[in-house]
Amino acid sequence: TPFEARLYAVCKCIPAGRVSTYGALAEVLHSAPRACGQALRRNPFAPAVPCHRVIAASLNLGGFNGSWGAACASVQKKRRLLAEEGVAFDDAGRL
């Protein structure tokens, strides 16, 4: 969709080793954080569109690939991808 294309373009601007929030992306796009989350959940272009660099406003990892919670394999993958880029989280998964 046109919204997804704009979102993916903005997401691609997040450099390796840095993160943004769903809310920050939504503000840039004049949208809602949940709309951004839903679109990134369906992102078929990862890792070229680095949706793993988008975290929750609480600075927790948030979800990944439609899963939520630190115990989920996909969220653990998100944490691993970010760690490989130099992003550090505490034991609770908070930035």
Active-site residue set: 51
CA distance 26 to 89: 23
Ranges assigned E (strand) in the chain: 20-21, 54-55
Alpha helices in 2-63 (DSSP H): 2-11, 22-29, 33-41
